[in-house]
Structure 1
């Protein structure tokens, strides 16, 4: 379990900027709800960045200088979840040799982030409902009512509506948590944000490992753009971290990524799909050629648009239009001093 965190800077150095329409809406919602005291329910697949989003909401709230306490509910045994959340009195159960404050006490004035909320026990659900309805709770083994001066952000990758229907999650608690739901899209549905995410993670990894990685090889970016990303942002960060550890140059090369996890490119023969209409097959082949050509060109020119346009025999405006169509970002190919 993570310790109490008071954020002294914006988490992950992430700006509320995205090239994806769905993610832009998510960021708009964050800006709207963050200054309020409303309960937020974050929905999305594992690894989509729900924890990062919770930190952003806290950072942009009126409670930014107060504790941010993260609780991984699914990692806490059922017998201990109430004690972890609400604390316990001395003698409340075997082994409780002293009074212990819970996460709600430790987060006083700040934010409690309840990750994997769908896993908590029925009895813990009742106590959490009391917090949301009345703003009060009691420690395990105690009768004294304590005020819960916290903002609650919950998250789940489960179909919580289905849990309600099957009786595994209280309907009244669900309604209390679902005041302001925010659904975070999977990485495969926002591939245009890959360059920005990679830049953020590389900055963090450079600091962590004392490296000076300026970007990734065009071939790696090309493969990343075609990958399905089942592990989402978390998988991306893990891949980059492993590559950063192995890499000896200032650019993450294909050989820095393990074969079993390095996304495969589409090396199929463009003429093999005879079941596709000629016009569609031709356009698909053109698109693949253009993307491969542009990634190589940007790598050779280190992301310099004027130089790349001259080499390609097009205007900078035409080149920028092609880059936008193929979701390529020139900044990912520039040395750090040029960005």
Structure 2
């Protein structure tokens, strides 16, 4: 049995839908997006059919457009197929919604046969996607499956590379900004390799003093230096037959670079203070947030070592370039912290998701994880509200450059949206300057308090948000 969520104010549309459902199906009619989200919270639905005019009214108040207006539905039900019902006059906007993530559109007047056709097409697409996902998931173990789910083409390429290289013994070089998940990816490669039952040793090279780095990596003999009161195995020996992950590889000393090169070339190392070679069988995964090629040109990193490490490079994109994954990552972090802190958080406020999509995330996934953890600890209700997040998260770059120039829209519509965006930004600045005080804000804007209240309702602004 499949359930349909129908957002329309036209009763005739509901009648047509009832006629089109030859199989037993549940139809949940409503007249607003708020009501639709409430229904979706208590009933599982497979399809959402939404009137274009209703969707446009919601998207007007959101600078991110239709994608942000539909984001709460995907966050609540990631597999939901969304179909826009549109008139001929709004066809361009309907096409724009499809470009921003909707599954399809259907023209008015709605016909039962056409509804059945579009549903069957979407069912077929769901089946094909389900089979592809199943085949991909056969490679990943159960614990890794949530992590590897992505909507970002660049990350799909990353996971395809992981699937290709994990079963081999090749050296892997992970590059990307701090906080993009290089350590997690290294663990993923080991977990899906033939060495999965052997040790996985992680070493943060940048956190170990230069004087101790060689001892940590390669070990030492008793009496090799002051304080060496007994023989010690290095991390490479501990990782024998397994995998060693060398994070921040660009920070290691020149002498450690020479020894690492010998391990990669010959599988041999010498403990400090020993003249005897020790053979090790270790798969090396290295990571850096620096440009090793540039370091080679500056003579700060050995070129021959760089070529040995760069056998199979994988670059992780920053979070700002994969914002389509933010809802899924957020949901995963909430589930984890629910278990960790015995919470029962079931959702996150749409305003927070909107802020997440506008934020630049300089700390990448690690920053997102930390922010979610903090909010889960603070939050006392079942929904993460804006008050549980840092205020700076909601400070956007409200400039005219944020007005979206959608060439699929008529000039009049772009002009209308531009004027509304300018009004919204202006009101936010005025309210911020006056710390949310209505009388002062109205006086500064040259309008009455009644007009200001009306404009604030129109743009979804609350004075409490500006008292901070």
What TM-score does the superposition give when structure 1 sets the normalisation length? 0.76
User: CA–CA distance in 1 between the matches of 2:402 and 2:213?
Assistant: 59
Matching of residue 26 in structure 1 with residue 26 in structure 2: no
- Which of 388, 398, 410 is the equivalent residue of 1:256? 388
Question: Gapped runs of 5+ residues in structure 1?
Answer: 1-8, 290-339
Residue 167 of structure 1 and its aligned partner are, at CA, apart by 0.4
- Which of 142, 145, 148 is the equivalent residue of 2:274? 142
Larger radius of gyration: 2
User: CA–CA distance in 1 between the matches of 2:313 and 2:246?
Assistant: 14
Matching of residue 70 in structure 1 with residue 202 in structure 2: yes
Q: CA RMSD in A?
A: 2.7
Structure with bigger helix share is 2
Question: Gapped runs of 5+ residues in structure 2?
Answer: 1-140, 422-468
What TM-score does the superposition give when structure 2 sets the normalisation length? 0.56
User: CA–CA distance in 1 between the matches of 2:324 and 2:225?
Assistant: 52
Residue 105 of structure 1 and its aligned partner are, at CA, apart by 1.2
Alpha-carbon contact 1:270-1:285 (below 8 Å) kept: no
Greater relative CO (CA pairs within 8 A, separation 6+): 1
Q: 1:206 to 1:45 in 2, by over 3 A?
A: same
- Which of 283, 286, 296 is the equivalent residue of 1:154? 286
Matched pairs, number:
278
Q: Mean alpha-carbon deviation: is it higher for 174-183 or for 13-22?
A: 13-22
Aligned to 2:48: none
Residue 215 of structure 1 and its aligned partner are, at CA, apart by 2.6
Residue 14 of structure 1 and its aligned partner are, at CA, apart by 3.6
Residue 271 of structure 1 and its aligned partner are, at CA, apart by 11
Alpha-carbon contact 1:19-1:193 (below 8 Å) kept: yes
Q: How does 1:261-280 map to 2 (within 5 A)?
A: 262-265=393-396, 279=411
Aligned to 1:181: 313
User: CA–CA distance in 1 between the matches of 2:168 and 2:326?
Assistant: 30
- Which of 388, 398, 414 is the equivalent residue of 1:282? 414
Aligned to 2:256: 124
Q: 1:142 to 1:71 in 2, by over 3 A?
A: same
Matching of residue 164 in structure 1 with residue 164 in structure 2: no
Per the alignment, in what secondary structure is the counterpart of residue 354 of structure 2?
helix
Q: How does 1:1-339 map to 2 (within 5 A)?
A: 14-260=146-392, 262-265=393-396, 279=411, 282=414, 285=417
User: CA–CA distance in 2 between the matches of 1:133 and 1:284?
Assistant: 65
